[in-house]
Structure 1
Amino acid sequence: MHCRLSAWLVKHGVIHRSLGFDYQRIETLQIKSSDWNSIAIILYVYGYNYLRSQCAYDVPPGGLLASHLMRIEYGMDRPEEVCVKVFTPRRDPRIPFVFWVWKSVDFQEQESYDMLGIYYNNYPRLKRILIPESWIECLLRKDYKAPNFYEIQNAH
């Protein structure tokens, strides 16, 4: 299967790494965090005008954090989808935010910040949305250790 977007990016000198296709035959690309702003603009101009989902996860065995984005391109007989993975070190996890390119990523980038501690540089209102501001740890990191306390069960 031909990697259409990857070939276009190579032709235009955009640095990336093709990870091939996933089980659903969706092209997957890996890019550097420092290149994300410019690549996001390129993808938008190229026609990837809708961001379907963004998620983040802790890459086993706990070395990197990944922000994983999927987009659908409209205007073709068959919509094209691509997956972009941006890896960042866990010690200082920073990724440029792309809310200004795709407005639908607003809540999803905040959730990645809240649960994994990924900072989205220059994000206008980055805040915790699922757990209290006072919480120190990142709940979805593989090295998270649950506090040693017990809930009162069946208290009436």
Structure 2
Amino acid sequence: MKNESEIVVEEKSSGPISGWLSENGFENIPLDNDHLGVEVIKIIPTNLLAIVEALKSEGFNYLQCQGGYDEGPGLNIVCFYNLIEMSEFKKDISPREVRLKIFLKRDGAMTVPSLYSLFRGADWQERETFDMYGVNFKGHPHPKRLLMPEDWKGWPLRKDYVQPDFYEMQDAY
């Protein structure tokens, strides 16, 4: 039996993209790869725009998906970004992919920069994340609800959301 001084803690080694980001001065924390083996990297909100701009210049020129999820009541709200290198696809060779994650404390500002200036497709994806989780995207050209009425209270996909008994639609005719 090993005592506490002999316990070895394994650290997640950085993948090729995390390593490249670190070599170029971008602060990041490698996480475990996803179920498909795609590299997942944790970043802070203030570095998002610079990191995505650098990755786009390195060939990750397609924002496949942006979204959010709730880790649970009292825990973080997570914004994620799936970037793909869209180039000429070759048979039996998968395109390079990376997943970026930003962990936001729900009692904090929950603000991240908008990627609309780099990827126009971020428009509705960011609006949906705002609408369902309450994440604000600084610099977004149309920061308003997408799915819920403008006067809706709360963020319906948060796990601590309490559904109202009713919603009275005004001017519904």
Superposition TM-score, scaled by structure 2 size: 0.81
* SS of residue in 1 equivalent to 2:27: coil
Say which SS state the counterpart of residue 110 (structure 1) adopts.
helix
2: distance between equivalents of 1:122 and 1:11? 28
Residue 58 in structure 1 maps to residue 70 in structure 2: yes
- Alpha carbons 1:94, 1:119 under 8 Å: kept: yes
Contact map agreement 1:3 1:20 (CA 8 A) in 2 = no
Contact 1:88–1:95 under 8 Å retained in 2: no
Letter in 1 for 2:96: E
Q: Which aligned pairs between 1:22-61 and structure 2 lie closer than 5 A?
A: 22-61=34-73
Decide which of 60, 78, 100 is 2:117's aligned counterpart: 100
Q: Map Cα deviations across residues 49-102 of structure 1 (whole Å, 9 max, x no partner).
A: 001111101122432111111011133753111100011221221010001111
- Of the three residues 67, 81, 90, the one matched with 1:69 is 81
Structure 1: gaps (5+ residues): 151-156
Q: How does 1:65-144 map to 2 (within 5 A)?
A: 65-75=77-87, 77=90, 78=93, 79-91=95-107, 92-144=109-161
Runs of 4+ in 1 over 3 A off after TM superposition: 75-78
SS of residue matched to 1:21: coil
Q: Does structure 1 residue 10 correspond to structure 2 residue 27? A: no
Task: Please report how far the alpha carbon of residue 105 of structure 1 lies from its aligned counterpart in structure 2 after TM superposition.
Answer: 1.3
Cα distance in 1, alignment partners of residues 47 and 138 from structure 2: 13
The percentage of counterpart residues that share the same residue type is: 33
Q: Which consecutive residues of structure 2, in runs of 5 or more, have no partner in the other structure?
A: 1-12, 168-173
